[in-house]
Amino acid sequence: MIVMKFGGSSLESAGAIEQAASIVKEHLDQKPVLVVSAMAKTTDQLLEAARSAARGDSYSARQHTEALRRMHCNETRGVLGQRAEPFLRDSIAPMFRDLQVLLVELREGRPFTPQIQDEVLSYGERLSSLIVAESFRHLGIRAAQVDARKVIVTDGQFTHATPLHWDTYSRLRRTVALLARDRVVVMGGFIGATLDGVTTTLGRGGSDLTASLVGAGISADEIQIWTDVDGMLSCDPRVLAGGRLLREISYQEAQEMARFGAKVLHPASVAPALCQRIPIVIRNSRRPEVQGTRVVSKVQSAPGIVKCLTSKAGMAVVHLRVKNRGMLSSITGGLADLFAREHIAVDLIQAQEQGISFALENWPGLSQVLRKVDESVDIAVEEDRAAIWLVGEGIAHAASTLARARGALQGADVRLASQGSSSLSLGFVIREADLQAAMEALHREFFAAPASLNGRPRTSSIRTEVGQALSLRGALSPAVALKSNQ
């Protein structure tokens, strides 16, 4: 058996659903189980409808739900033709009526809790799984829809529930594994339920996690992630086009790439597959002839090879200077506890002679959190920063990799440089305005010019205000002004 996950962009229209069916037909001998996301942009529309209802704006809530109803009905008719009306009347219309009841309750004062949010958002995957299963039957595929809430068991952390693996695997073996022997099982991703049957969602990237859980639960031979890109690339396509397709990477490399900004695969989705050594394959539903990227337990490549450049914009760098160095350990320990309580993830840390510097995603509440730091600590914050990571097995211990990165970024205003949380990555923080030029310089160094830039002269737009070589343990630049915490 295999698991095939189709994202929202791969199910956005009647034509996309028909394309997905043609792909599934090519794999029928492998007994596929489908995990489907909500149709494109459905989740965002559902969330806006709920927010509108909660603030008493029934007109806006109705507009969002009516747009969703029209879209789902129109695309269903596009696949089913004359057979659509009974299905829409008996299966789809009741779901929209139930959704409307929820929204009316919100409009009339029911609190918009995380639990209610999960209930509203679950309609996206519930609708898409029903429509895909019915469409497949119409297109000649024997299919059965399974409500994911009956088999994906979670705790009660609404909006970001944690799966209860063994309860989930037991239910998957008793239901999905048996059904998949003679039909294509279709179920929604992203959603689950508590042991008491209360609807939950798994958070961002939850459909990938569902696919990995299903794969582990039914002992699948392979998990396929069908999306709108050819696979994982050597650079972030949102920043720099023309990167090379990575044919094979390790689970650990995939997790590191995803954690540091790569959007193709959610980091949490790798864990269940990794435990059972199930390969994950990322493929393009619009170009199924491309073999994509395989994520496996062990890659046959020498350590120290850079596999990918990932990036995050919207970062901030915080510099802490401790007046009494003997207090550094207790200050950093207290800061770690504070960040854990506030659910703040630190991406890069660099030790300094008199303190510590770290990079994290910027947001309006950062200054409020930093006010809780001991008053004896001097704090400076640099905003409008971006982080770039070089990812690959063992690159943090490869001196030549660091030297080449120094050379490529020699003219950049690098504010922070550090090994990542493992030996798999090296990270650098630069000004956000320089991100594209820095990515291009690093890509030229480790992969040659991106395809879209071949034949063009190397850009010279990286600013050279500091112009100093990088050092993983260097002191703070004199340009950084440390200010007392107010």
Q: Which residues contact 446 (CB under 8 A, 6 or more apart)?
A: 234, 306, 309, 390, 404, 408
Higher pLDDT, 381 or 24: 24
Of the candidates 389, 437, 385, the one whose C-alpha atom is nearest the C-alpha of residue 412 is 437
* Euclidean distance between CA atoms 192 and 5, whole angstroms: 16
Looking at 173, 208, 228, which one is the last position of a domain?
228
Same domain, 319 and 173: no
| pLDDT for position 138 | 97
pLDDT in tens, 134-165: 999 999 999 999 999 999 999 999 999 999 99
Same domain, 194 and 313: no
Helical residues (DSSP H) of 220-358, grouped into ranges: 251-259, 270-275, 328-341
Residue 281 has pLDDT above 90, yes or no: yes
Residue 302 within any structural domain of the chain: no
Task: List, in sequence order, every beta strand (DSSP E) within 12-168.
Answer: 32-36, 143-146
Residue 455 has pLDDT above 70, yes or no: no
Residue 34 within any structural domain of the chain: yes
Same domain, 35 and 156: yes
**pTM of the complete model beyond 0.75:** yes
Looking at 162, 193, 228, which one is the last position of a domain?
228
Q: Which residues contact 263 (CB under 8 A, 6 or more apart)?
A: 238
Residue 262 has pLDDT above 80, yes or no: no
Same domain, 183 and 319: no
What single letter denotes the amino acid at residue 146? V
- Contact (Cβ atoms closer than 8 angstroms) between residue 485 and residue 378: yes
Count of alpha carbons within 13 Å of 388, Cβ hemisphere only? 32
Looking at 170, 193, 228, which one is the last position of a domain?
228
pLDDT in tens, 182-197: 999 999 999 999 999 9
Same domain, 357 and 219: no
Domain count, the chain: 2
Q: What is the mean pLDDT of the chain?
A: 86
Q: What angle do CA 248, 297, 184 make, to 5 degrees?
A: 80
Same domain, 204 and 85: yes
Residue 285 within any structural domain of the chain: no
Q: Which residues pair with 195 in a beta bridge?
A: none
What single letter denotes the amino acid at residue 370? L
Residue 248 within any structural domain of the chain: no
Same domain, 208 and 72: yes
Beta-carbon count within 10 A of 384 CB: 13
Q: Domain containing 470 — which CATH number?
A: 3.30.2130.10
- Contact (Cβ atoms closer than 8 angstroms) between residue 423 and residue 394: yes
Residue 480 has pLDDT above 70, yes or no: no
* Euclidean distance between CA atoms 247 and 420, whole angstroms: 24
Q: Please report, for residues 253, 349, 403, 432, the alpha-carbon distance to residue 319 in angstroms, rounded to integers and kept in the order given.
A: 29, 10, 25, 18
Task: Specify the DSSP element, H or E, that contains 201.
Answer: strand 199-201
Residue 423 has pLDDT above 90, yes or no: no
* Euclidean distance between CA atoms 387 and 320, whole angstroms: 19
Residue 422 within any structural domain of the chain: yes
Average pLDDT over residues 242-261: 85
pLDDT in tens, 340-351: 787 777 888 887
Same domain, 211 and 312: no
Residue 376 within any structural domain of the chain: yes
| pLDDT for position 451 | 57
**DSSP letters of 213-250?**
HHHHHTT-SEEEEEESSSS-BSS-TTT-S-PPBPSEEE
| pLDDT for position 471 | 31
Residue 102 has pLDDT above 70, yes or no: yes
Residue 302 burial (C-beta neighbours within 10 Å; 0-12, 13-18, 19+) = exposed
Q: Domain containing 209 — which CATH number?
A: 3.40.1160.10
107: its two tokens: 């409009």
| pLDDT for position 326 | 64
Average pLDDT over residues 195-203: 96
Residue 262 within any structural domain of the chain: no
Of the candidates 40, 35, 64, 38, the one whose C-alpha atom is nearest the C-alpha of residue 52 is 64
Residue 166 within any structural domain of the chain: yes
What is the domain range of residue 47?
A: 2-228
